[in-house]
């Protein structure tokens, strides 16, 4: 089925260079806090070189550089009240291995086979969603987002895997005239925001954008985790821009705006009452409850009649 399954933690630990960091954040507490911790660890993996592995009872960050992981651990401790366990490698490898072996799941979560069984029979209309957006103080739709509906899984890694698969199915439906009618009808004249899997558009996809100077050229939304491989992300971004697309990131937490430097990219994040310290040139505010700070030019927001 093509899911990007994470590397075995034993192999990954053994491959880390001297001075690398292993940081473990247990899967405890509210799901929202766990998702924030996961996002912080993914960003540390981007900045320090490495990866985040999903274990049965938590997430393991393996960073080639220790500093970004230590910073993520301090922020996670401040947000959750729990200090993640951390070990410098190779000296701490045995302790890290012992912790990984001993971890147990605090709540049952579906495995990949269960996820496949849940997603495979879903018809296109069951997961494809079209959301409308206004800009500034206006209430008239100016943009439309086509993407998969979240499944609400208790494990962020599995939710990410489900998104990948459903995004690929959505793109296949767009490219197939026989399936295109199963998608929500796109509205002529509205700017398109399209959710893409980590790899961007498939080779040969008949989806063209607009002229580079067109302010309403479509926006390709990539998951924040796609930046874990900077060289690959740069190549995907270049390909999309050459095809006439603007490029953006979608994240589960608005705090990512303050963690990640991504000049020239749009952002799609859930928003709350507090405005982020760093605001991109184009922000796509997710959520039907639209705070007042979102009703300004340069911010697309929900909360309008469909």
The pLDDT value recorded for residue 31 is: 67
Phi/psi at 266 (5° precision): -80, 165
Looking at the chain, list the stretches that DSSP marks H as alpha helix, in order from N- to C-terminal side.
9-14, 31-48, 66-80, 93-102, 112-119, 124-127, 156-175, 177-180, 230-242, 256-259
The values of phi and psi at residue 158, to 5°, are: -70, -35
> Among 3.30.200, 1.10.3470, 2.60.40, 3.30.70, what is the CATH number of 9-102?
3.30.70
The Cα–Cα gap between 202 and 204 comes to 6
Contacts of 250 by beta carbon, 8 Å cutoff, 6+ apart: 195, 221, 222, 223, 224, 267, 268, 269
Distances (CA, A) of 73 to 25, 187, 252, 266: 8, 45, 19, 27
Please list the residues that pair with 130 across neighbouring strands.
146
Q: What is the pLDDT along the chain (306 residues), one digit of tens a residue?
A: 232 334 578 888 988 999 999 999 987 766 667 777 888 898 899 888 889 988 878 899 999 999 999 999 988 877 666 778 999 999 999 999 988 887 744 444 556 677 777 787 889 999 999 999 999 888 899 999 999 998 877 667 778 888 888 999 999 999 888 999 999 999 999 999 999 998 898 876 667 788 878 888 999 999 887 887 788 899 999 999 998 999 999 988 787 787 777 889 999 998 888 888 888 989 999 988 889 999 999 999 996 755
Query: Residue 61 is encoded by which pair of tokens?
Result: 């960050």
* pTM confidence score: 0.68
């Amino acid at each position: 089925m093509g899911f990007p399954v994470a590397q075995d933690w034993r192999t990954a630990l053994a491959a880390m260079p001297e001075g690398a960091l292993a940081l473990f954040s247990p899967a405890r507490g509210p799901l929202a806090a766990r998702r924030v911790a996961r996002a912080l660890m993914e960003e540390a993996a981007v900045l320090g070189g490495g990866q985040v592995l999903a274990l049965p009872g938590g997430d393991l960050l393996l960073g080639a550089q220790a500093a970004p992981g230590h910073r993520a651990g301090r922020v996670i401790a401040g947000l959750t009240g729990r200090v993640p366990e951390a070990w410098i490698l190779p000296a701490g490898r045995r302790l890290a291995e012992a912790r990984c072996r001993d971890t147990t799941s605090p709540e049952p979560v579906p495995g990949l086979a269960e996820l496949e069984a849940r997603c495979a029979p879903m018809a296109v209309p069951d997961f494809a969603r079209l959301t409308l957006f206004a800009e500034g103080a206006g209430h008239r739709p100016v943009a439309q987002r086509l993407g998969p509906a979240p499944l609400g899984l208790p494990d962020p890694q599995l939710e990410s895997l489900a998104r990948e698969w459903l995004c690929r199915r959505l793109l296949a439906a767009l490219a197939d005239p026989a399936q295109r009618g199963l998608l929500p009808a796109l509205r002529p004249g509205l700017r398109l925001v399209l959710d893409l899997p980590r790899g961007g558009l498939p080779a040969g996809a008949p989806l063209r954008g607009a002229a580079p100077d067109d302010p309403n050229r479509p926006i390709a939304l990539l998951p924040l985790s796609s930046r874990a491989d900077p060289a690959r992300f740069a190549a995907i971004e270049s390909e999309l821009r050459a095809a006439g697309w603007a490029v953006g990131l979608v994240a589960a937490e608005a705090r990512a705006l303050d963690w990640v430097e991504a000049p020239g990219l749009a952002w799609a994040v859930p928003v709350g009452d507090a405005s982020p310290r760093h605001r991109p040139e184009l922000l796509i505010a997710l959520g039907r409850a639209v705070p007042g700070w979102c009703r300004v030019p340069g911010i697309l927001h929900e909360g309008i009649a469909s």
